[in-house]
Structure 1
Amino acid sequence: MEDLDVVAWVQVHEGRMLAVRSRGRDLLYLPGGKREAGETDWSALSREVREELALELDAATFRELGVVRAPAHDQPAHAHVRMACFTAAYRGDIAATNEVDEFHYVAPADRGLLAPAARAALDLARTRGLLP
């Protein structure tokens, strides 16, 4: 079974990581998603964040944080998710739009609210010194 290959934005503020709840999902995910044909990591992530949160990411600050692999949640066609995680500054006010119902900043203690790949990204952010 092939991994679901996605990109994700890791945004940390005051010791908490931004997570979103997509329509019909029980756990929180990171903003981001699948690349469309021909998209680079940057173009896919900037499009997804614009669609999900009405924000513009800053290309000059776009940095790879790392790649995580975790069991897929709510994705019956895929056993695992391979998620390339990136950081970037943004412009705008965060707003849940399109398929996103809500957003939250979660602390490391809230890891049980996160889908497995988002938990792995939270651990990566801690390892890289972005979270306490």
Structure 2
Amino acid sequence: MIDKVAWIELADGKVLSTRSKGKDAYYIPGGKREPGESDVETLVREIAEELSVRIDPATAVHLGTFEAQAHGQPDGVIVRMTCYTARYSGTLAPASEIAELVWLSATDTARIAPVDHLIFAHLQAAGLLHP
């Protein structure tokens, strides 16, 4: 099991996604928890490292937890994505291992990792992600 915390940022019916250097799929931004970190601590650290912005921890709201086959991993390796919305300050910019950031709609599912399919479906069912 790969345990990750992810940030759901929505604008104009699209969700912020990232592509890491050397990867072929887009992922909801976030990352793995370090020992002893809470979900929100992981979220704040990972988003600062990857996107150069500061998450306001007081505004973090759990959106859902999703599990699926981990992209690029052997069969049976599952990723668990614990997703939060939160306000941020600063200017979004790719940093660290992030090569690109994009805003994706529900029609972009051919470009995303398997667990993100579940997240996109959840967002679309809630009326938050446009086709």
State the TM-score, normalizing by the size of structure 1. 0.93
1:16 counterpart (14, 21, 24): 14
What's the Cα RMSD here?
1.4
Given the alignment, which residue of 119, 122, 131 partners 2:120?
A: 122
Q: 2:69·2:75 contact (CA, 8 Å) conserved in 1?
A: no
**Aligned partner of 2:88 among 83, 87, 90:** 90
Q: After the TM superposition, which of the residue ranges 32-41 and 116-125 deviates more from structure 2?
A: 116-125
Mapped contact 1:33–1:45 kept (Cα < 8 A): yes
**Identical-residue share of aligned pairs (%):** 41
Which runs of 5 or more structure 2 residues have no equivalent in the other structure?
Answer: none
Shift of 1:122: 1.2
**Number of residue pairs matched?**
130
Inter-partner Cα distance in structure 2 for 1:73 and 1:4: 11
Q: Which residue is equivalent to 2:54?
A: 56
TM-superposed CA distance for 1:77, in Å, is 8.6
The residue that corresponds to 2:106 in the other structure is 108
Other structure's SS at 1:36 match: coil
In the alignment, the residues of structure 2 paired with residue 89 and residue 130 of structure 1 have an alpha-carbon distance, to the nearest angstrom, of: 16
* Residues 1:20 and 1:78: Cα distance change in structure 2 (over 3 Å): farther
CA–CA separation in structure 2 for the residues paired with 1:42 and 1:68 = 17
* Residue 68 of structure 2: aligned partner: 70
State whether residues 58 and 90 of structure 1, in contact with CA within 8 Å, keep that contact through their aligned partners in structure 2.
yes
Report which stretch shifted further, 37-46 or 53-62.
53-62
1:99 aligns with 97
Provide TM-score, normalisation by structure 2. 0.93
Instruction: Report SS of the residue matched to 1:45.
Output: helix
Q: Please give the alpha-carbon distance, in whole angstroms, between the structure 2 residues aligned to 1:70 and 1:95.
A: 28
